[in-house]
Structure 1
Amino acid sequence: MRAPRWIGLPLVAVLLVVATIGAQLAHGGGTYEPLRPADACVERPVTTQADGIDGLTERLVLIGLDDAACTLGTSRESLTLQLARSDEPTRAQVDALRDGLRSAVARMKADGTLPEASALVDEVLDSADLNGLLERVIRALPDSVIDGALKTDDVLDRTIDQLDVRAVLDDVDDPSALNDRIETAVTQAVKDSLRARLRDLV
Structure 2
Amino acid sequence: MSRLRAVSLPAAAVVLVGGVLAVQVAYGGGTFEPLPPADPCVVRPVTSHSEGMDALTEQLVLIALDDAACTLGVSREALTLELAGPGDPTDAQVEALHDGLLAAVERMDADGTLPPTSDLVDEALDNADLNDLLKTLIRALPASVVDAALPIDDLLTRAIDDLDLRTVLTNLDSQDDLNRQLDAAITQAVKDTLVARVRDLV
Q: TM-score, normalised by structure 1?
A: 0.89
Q: Distance in 2 between matches of 1:11 and 1:136?
A: 73
Q: Which residue of 2 aligns with 1:90?
A: 90
Higher mean C-alpha displacement, 100-109 vs 168-177: 168-177
Q: Which runs of 5+ in 1 are unaligned?
A: none
Q: Which runs of 5+ in 2 are unaligned?
A: none
Q: Which residue of 1 aligns with 2:184?
A: 184
Deviation at 1:86, TM superposition (A): 3.6
Q: Which residue of 1 aligns with 2:173?
A: 173
Q: Which residue of 2 aligns with 1:131?
A: 131
Q: Distance in 2 between matches of 1:112 and 1:16?
A: 50
1:28 to 1:120, Cα distance in 2 relative to 1, 3 A: same
What does 1:57-72 align with in structure 2 at a 5 Å threshold? 57-72=57-72
How big is the alpha-carbon RMSD for the aligned residues of Structure 1 and Structure 2? 2.1
Aligned length: 200
Q: Distance in 2 between matches of 1:166 and 1:185?
A: 11
The CA deviation string for residues 137-189 of structure 1, in whole angstroms up to 9 with x for no partner, is 11111112111211211111111111111111111121122111101110011
Could you list the structure 1 runs, at least 4 aligned residues long, displaced by more than 4 angstroms after superposition: 4-20
Q: Amino acid of the residue matched to residue 25 of structure 2? A: L
The CA deviation string for residues 23-63 of structure 1, in whole angstroms up to 9 with x for no partner, is 43222222112112111111111000111111111111111
Q: Distance in 1 between matches of 2:91 and 2:196?
A: 30
Higher mean C-alpha displacement, 10-19 vs 159-168: 10-19
1:28 to 1:131, Cα distance in 2 relative to 1, 3 A: same
Percent identity over the alignment is 61
Q: Distance in 1 between matches of 2:106 and 2:24?
A: 47
| Secondary structure in 2 matching 1:103 | helix
Deviation at 1:190, TM superposition (A): 0.6
Q: Which residue of 1 aligns with 2:75?
A: 75
1:143 to 1:23, Cα distance in 2 relative to 1, 3 A: closer
Kindly indicate whether residue 143 of structure 2 is the aligned counterpart of residue 110 of structure 1.
no
1:104 to 1:5, Cα distance in 2 relative to 1, 3 A: closer
Q: Amino acid of the residue matched to residue 130 of structure 1? A: L
